[in-house]
Chain A
């Protein structure tokens, strides 16, 4: 199976690799893993408390090229979006953008889970109630 050019690009030049201060109230951390392949993904966001815009996003992923590319793309996409906007990103969008083959779809699911987990952590820290629609969407 060949990786698409976009996957290879993200794999070779991952965007936004790194770490944010987990203890900061402006930072939300999502840590997710796929038991099937042993991938583990940490995605962090720093949210502007006034505007609710995600100003910074960092990730660190241990896993295959598709998992790294999915999380790299996810950080690019959520940067500059509001928290609610970022929740609209679906794993299928990532699949399409990176042309992931069916066996790698779980990598994109993991990236979507990571975004939700990071936002969920930030909301919990800041006492933001989870709107009913977002919870329903998270259950997909």
Chain B
């Protein structure tokens, strides 16, 4: 459902035929429900695509639209309106889940703006191999060694308390590093939102590498949590 920003094109309402912009869930003229719109997640809520959004406003709009789309309200509507109420609700939920989370929202908006994030761009376009800093790599490697030891010990039915303590300590540390990354991301929001082309490009580049680092750390924290919880 990724689309280019400002993709809203006018379409005619199926019921009253008055043209409206295709991002809306309800016709502004006759208030009838519309099929799932083709715009981006921000336009579902009628908000400007930004990284620093008003979460209160987002939640308020979400509840308002959820009530308006509730399938119970379409019990006696036409068959296609019933189906649209379900499809629009699904879209609304996806949009809300993505936008309310600061990390998901950042990744989503940067992708809308043409950034390549995640596995799909690995392999090609690797002009800066090993973007993980060397000091972090050492720690990641050591942590993986400990995790392997821990799993082996578990398999043999031994509980290594020392190892467990050390892993718990590592998990706290990496959780802290994740928080740092999140703060660094937030610090870039303003520069991106301001809209100056050069500054936006610089902020976007910084955030793409922060998101890479974040994925690395969160995979690691997930592995540690799984091993500790096993």
Contact = CB atoms under 8 A, between A and B. Distances in A.
Interface string B116-127: 001101111011
Interface residues of B, number: 28
Contacts of B215: 35-36, 38
- A38, A103, A110, A117: which has the most chain B beta carbons within 10 Å? A38
Task: Report the interface size class on chain A.
Answer: 20 to 34
A109 interface: yes
Contact of A33 (B119, B140, B148): B140
Interface string A96-129: 0000001101100110010001000000000000
SS class of chain B's interface: helix, strand, loop or mixed? helix
Interface of B: 118-119, 121-124, 126-127, 129-132, 134, 136-138, 140-141, 144-145, 148, 212-213, 215-216, 219-220, 223
30 contacts: A31-B137, A31-B138, A32-B137, A33-B130, A33-B132, A33-B137, A33-B140, A33-B216, A34-B132, A35-B132, A35-B213, A35-B215, A35-B216, A36-B118, A36-B119, A36-B121, A36-B122, A36-B212, A37-B119, A38-B140, A38-B216, A38-B220, A40-B141, A40-B144, A60-B141, A102-B123, A109-B123, A113-B130, A117-B130, A139-B127
